[in-house]
Structure formats: C-alpha cells, structure tokens
Amino acid sequence: MLIMDICHHIKAKGAPEFTTLYDHLYHVRLSIEKFAECLDFDVEIAKIGAVLHDIGKASPIFQKRLVSKYRTGQSTFRHEIASCFFISLIKEKHQPQIIEMIIAHHKSIEGDKKLKGILDLEENEGDIFESHIKDWDIWKPDTLKILSAFGIKTRDISYDEAHDNYCKVLAYCETRVKDYGYSRWRGLLMAADYFASALSESTKHYLKNTFKKPVLNFYNRKSEFYPLSLKEAISEKPHTIVVACTGAGKTDYLFRRCKGRVFYTLPFQASINAMYQRVKNELLPSNPELDIRMLHSSSKIAVNDESQEEIVLQRLIGSSVKILTPYQLASIIFATRGFEFQIEDIKGCDVILDEIHTYTGVSKAIALKIVEVLNYLGCRIHIGTATMPSSLYEKIIKLLGENSVKQVSLDKTELEKFDRHKLFKINSWEDSDQIIADAVKKKQKVLLISNRVKSAQSVLARVKNLFPDIPSILIHSRFKRGDRYEKEKKLLGINKKGQPTGKFNTSLDACIVVSTQVVEVSLDISFDLMITETAPVDSLIQRFGRVNRKRSSSTIGVYKPIYLIAPPEDINEAAPYDLEILKNSFEVLEHNSILHESDYQKK
C-alpha cells in the first residue's frame, strides 16, 4: 500500500533510515490497531494515541538533533513532552489514556535512571515548558497538517492553550505517580512503537500472523512407550502440574493442555535453542505461517538462518509460541524496562514452566512469585517436572488452589518401565580414564559433566590427550554466542530439517561430550554412559535423563551406567552449590545399584 507523502521534510528517525514522521506514525497506528483489538482495548483511543505519541518530533529542536550530535550544555528536549501540547484536540474523557500513552513511552515519569522523566525534569531543570515550546509558530502548522492527515479534527492551538495542556499533563502525572501501579495504555503504546520501529515497511506483513492461536494437534500423538500420551488432557481445571520422569512425554502433554498462545519457559539457553528448533519442526506442517519466537540473550544468534526482520521479531509481542527463560518472566516481577508490554503480551495465555530449578532460597522465592503473578494475570499455568521438591509442589498448589490444578503423575508400574540407569561411585576424574577407554572400544557415546567451566575445560584437555582420535566437544555458558550455538547444533546431531547428521547425539560411533549443567534440561540427547560430578540430587536426576533416553522395545529393561564422582571437601570447590547439599546428595544415592524412578521424589 502506497503511503501518502505528508510533510516529508519532518523525520522521526535519523541515519541511515531517516524515516519520515508520517511514515512512522502510520506504522505505529497499524500496529496498535491490531494489538488493541486482540488485547481488548478501545481501538479508536489507541489509534489516536499512536498518532500523537511522537508528534512532538516535529519541533525544530528534535529535527536538528537527528542530523547532528548532542552538544554539551544543550537543554533537555523530550519529544514526548512536546507531543502533549496537542491533547486538547482530544475529548477530555479520553485524555488520561492519551497522556499515559504519550508521556512515558520512553522514560518513566519519575525516577528515570538519567532523570529525564517529566517530574524529574520539573524538579531538576529550569522552565521545561519554555524549553519545549520554542519556535511554536514555526512547527505547529506542519504538526497540525500531519494530525489532520490521520483524521484528527484540528484547529489552531495558542501558546496559552499549549501551556494549559502541559500543566494538565504535569498535574495528572503528579497524581498518577502516587498510585505506584503500572499503565496498560503505556504498555500498549510501547508494544506498537517497538513493533513498528523494528519492522518499518514490513510492519503490515508481520502483523497478519500476530496473536494467532497455534494449532497443536501434533501433540495428540499416542505411543505405549510414552505413558503421558495415553492420559486424558481435557479438564475444566485451568492449571496443570505433571510429575513424570524424563522421556515420559511431558512436553507433548503440556502442549495438549494449552488452549491459546503459548509461552514455554526453560531454565537453560541450550535447551531453549533446541526446543525452538524442535517445536518449529513439529508445528510448521500444520501451521505453515506459524509465528514462533525465542527470547534470551543470544536469540539473534540462534535464529541466524532466518531473515534480519525475523530475527528482530523475536523480542516483539504477539507470537503464537514463544520459547523463553524464567528470567524474562521475572522482569515482570521486578518491573524492569518494558514490563508493561510484556504483561499485555502474556496476559491470559498458556504458560508452560518446564523444570523450575530452585537450588537456592532466592530462586525458590522467584519461582513462587512468577506463579503468583501469572495466576493474577489470568494465565493458564502448566508445570512439568521430574524433580520438584515436595515443599515447593505444595506451595504452588496452595497458590493456585487445589481445585484449579489438574495433577498428573505416573503410577509405580509405569515408573518401573523407566528404570534405565545403574549408578556407580568413583573418587575422581582420574578414576574415569579406564571407564572411558572401555566405552570408546564399544563405540559408545560418552557424556562427562562438570559443575564449573574451569573443571569442564580441564576434563576436555584430559580427554583430548588420552583419546586424540575420538570426536569430542565442550559445551558451557561462556562461549561467544555464535560459537556456542554452533556447538549446540553439533551436539544435537541434526540439521535444520531435523535430519540426523551422524555426529555426537546421532553418531553410530564413539564420541565424547564434555559439558556443564547447561545440558540438564529438555535437550533431546541420548548417550550410552555418563560420568558426572556430584550436584544437588534434583539436578543429578535431570542429568541422568540424558543417558538411555530413547524409548523402544529394545531399550526397556536395559540399564546403562552412571558414574558419580565424590564431592570435594573444600567449600569453595563445591561452588556453585552448597557443600553440605552435595554430600547429602552423594550419600542418598547407593553405589552399584539400579536407580528406581519411583524413588526419586522421596530422595
């Protein structure tokens, strides 16, 4: 669609785009119209806010700063403040919503980090109105022309009326800040502004697939090898807690419990990258234009096979499925930048919390607060775990209400079919040399796990020295983002289409993977033997799930070895875990014994 060329000389963005103000407002209005419809806002008010939010950029002060660097000594100019000079063009009953969309879409009204909010400026600088009204008669005509082009009924606004508008906004903000709440309207505007700014001319194209419910029929598949696939998922109860061992089909079951857009959280980046690729491969056949995104610190790397626009899209709202970490959810709790639009994005959706890790009192408190806030926002919460402590389980049930939670678990008979590991205890990595040598001769895939990066690096050096001809790889959290993503792909042993590459996880020959705890959760890998340093027992159980994971008639009843290295004696060497917990975890697991899945919760 051809966009009109209105006041082409007035820009909203600087180099290299130099997007015109009209174009930017047009795309923000497109975005907010779709978002407001889907999120139950008044669409017409939202569209007016979208047009007004950046209109202050028409000021010559802003236009000059787009093409020149800021100079020391210049007075502060916030285009949001200048935009508010025009609010009297809007019906008075709608002005509070418009103010909330305009005045704080870049800076909080008070307590801004750089003291640039409207109340901060009033307290710390000179006459804020005068510094923003400069050259009013020069830039006002173009501004009114742009507003008129968007269908807003305009008239001349005098200097005094602009001042009255500023005072009205200032008074509203002084009252609003006392509420200590958050603004839904601010969240809506920020979401639309970010979307349009990121995608520009492609905004309309990407909007058509936002806020669509995914078709999840793929996860209705059934198999006797995955007992959760045979259990009923339909229930009037909105929430879910599934306690089941690794490989029982938790992921499928949790997706079967979802009714709307899905937010899927996992604690580690490696597992998020893998889940993103897995869900794409599973859902795209029945969702050819599926809007699935991933959100963590390296998202841009992990989707680097896609277009630049699709990479940018990852952090924006409205996806059908989003794979993310609990840290992104915690940002809502701690009210970090952008939390308002994240609330609007997730409100009322299905949220899967896969393996909540609670090694410390702090992380446990955060996990509980996440559940509490999601419940408050009307989300349907689905929790899957193999290792949740009973105390945390009971607190979650209390938070959500027992009558609101569908509780699912495997019975003892079902669990017995998942006994697949035999545990042995050894004293040190030196004791593992012959164990690895024997496994290599049998063409087995070996997984070695350390608790710290430094230890993992040392183990890899030892492996390369002893077994120079055997393929080996190191995975941990400190690699550069691109390097780490490539290593994760190599570890999984599949290409972008989900086909085996014959390397590491899909290898038919001997290989050795050295890793830290980043491989614990939801990585679909299955090795023949593990040697691991002692960790908290819930973490160990997750690690064990990466060995003998594949389910078939030939693997049921087959036990593969886990070798557990005794914990250190020094408290510093036990980091990042508590030494006493490591010793207790080591003691609770018996040497030369079958690991029974039915015993794990008790342990």
Which of residues 378 and 120 earns the better pLDDT score? 378
Residue 115's pLDDT is what? 84
Residue 29's pLDDT is what? 98
3-state secondary structure of 255: helix
For range 509-533, the mean pLDDT: 89
The beta-strand segments (E) located in 167-252 are 239-243
CA distance readout (Å), 91 to 152, 153, 188: 11, 11, 20
Which of 37-46, 89-98, 115-124, 279-288 is predicted least confidently? 115-124
Q: Which amino acid is at 300?
A: K
Residue 111's pLDDT is what? 83
Please determine, for residue 264, whether its predicted confidence score (pLDDT) is greater than 90. yes
Please determine, for residue 379, whether its predicted confidence score (pLDDT) is greater than 90. yes
Residue 431's pLDDT is what? 96
Nearest-5° Cα angle at 208, 206 to 212 = 110
Cβ atoms of 38 and 211 closer than 8 Å: yes
pLDDT band at 2 (very low <50, low <70, confident <90, very high): very low
pLDDT digits (tens, 9 = 90+) for 313-322: 778 999 999 9
Please determine, for residue 337, whether its predicted confidence score (pLDDT) is greater than 90. no
Average pLDDT, the chain: 89
Residue 267's pLDDT is what? 76
Q: On the CB side of 256, how many CA atoms lie within 13 Å of its CA?
A: 23
pLDDT digits (tens, 9 = 90+) for 549-580: 887 777 778 899 999 999 999 999 999 999 99
Domains and CATH numbers, the chain: 21-207 (1.10.3210), 217-410 (3.40.50.300), 416-599 (3.40.50.300)
pLDDT band at 300 (very low <50, low <70, confident <90, very high): very low
Please determine, for residue 46, whether its predicted confidence score (pLDDT) is greater than 60. yes
pLDDT band at 3 (very low <50, low <70, confident <90, very high): low
Please determine, for residue 443, whether its predicted confidence score (pLDDT) is greater than 80. yes
pLDDT band at 299 (very low <50, low <70, confident <90, very high): very low
pLDDT band at 486 (very low <50, low <70, confident <90, very high): confident
Q: State the DSSP H helix or E strand holding residue 570, giving kind and residue range, or none if neither.
A: none
- Alpha carbon distance 361, 359 (integer Å): 7
449: which strand partners? 515, 532
CB atoms within 10 A of CB 311: 18
Report which listed range, 27-36, 60-69, 284-293, 406-415, is most confident: 27-36
Which of residues 533 and 299 earns the better pLDDT score? 533
Which of residues 585 and 301 earns the better pLDDT score? 585
For range 293-307, the mean pLDDT: 55
- Alpha carbon distance 261, 245 (integer Å): 26
Within its chain, how far is the Cα of 139 from the centroid?
42
pLDDT band at 74 (very low <50, low <70, confident <90, very high): low
Which of 77-91, 331-345, 348-362 is predicted least confidently? 348-362
Which of residues 462 and 477 earns the better pLDDT score? 462
Which of residues 527 and 552 earns the better pLDDT score? 527
- Alpha carbon distance 77, 127 (integer Å): 12
Q: Above pLDDT 90, what percent of the chain?
A: 65
3-state secondary structure of 429: helix
Crossing angle of helices 21-39 and 184-199, rounded to 10°? 130
3-state secondary structure of 346: helix
Please determine, for residue 179, whether its predicted confidence score (pLDDT) is greater than 80. no
Residue 182's pLDDT is what? 85
Which of residues 490 and 436 earns the better pLDDT score? 436
Ordered alpha helix ranges (H), 68-158? 79-83, 95-102, 118-124, 128-133, 136-149
pLDDT digits (tens, 9 = 90+) for 190-249: 999 999 999 999 999 999 999 999 999 999 999 988 999 999 999 999 999 999 888 889
Report which listed range, 189-193, 290-294, 491-495, 594-598, is most confident: 189-193
- Alpha carbon distance 571, 582 (integer Å): 10
pLDDT band at 360 (very low <50, low <70, confident <90, very high): low
Please determine, for residue 481, whether its predicted confidence score (pLDDT) is greater than 70. no
Please determine, for residue 304, whether its predicted confidence score (pLDDT) is greater than 50. no
**512: closest CA among 575, 582, 440?**
440
Residue 446's pLDDT is what? 97
Which of residues 157 and 414 earns the better pLDDT score? 157
Residue with tokens 């950029």: 57
Pairing of strands 321-324, 511-515: unpaired
Residue 309's pLDDT is what? 52
Residue with tokens 């998202």: 299
The reported pTM is 0.83
- Alpha carbon distance 370, 396 (integer Å): 10
Please determine, for residue 302, whether its predicted confidence score (pLDDT) is greater than 50. no
Residue 303's pLDDT is what? 46
Please determine, for residue 1, whether its predicted confidence score (pLDDT) is greater than 90. no
Which of 262-271, 365-374, 457-466 is predicted least confidently? 262-271
CB atoms within 10 A of CB 307: 10
pLDDT digits (tens, 9 = 90+) for 528-551: 999 999 999 988 988 998 999 887
Cβ atoms of 483 and 519 closer than 8 Å: no
Q: Above pLDDT 70, what percent of the chain?
A: 92
Which of residues 378 and 412 earns the better pLDDT score? 378
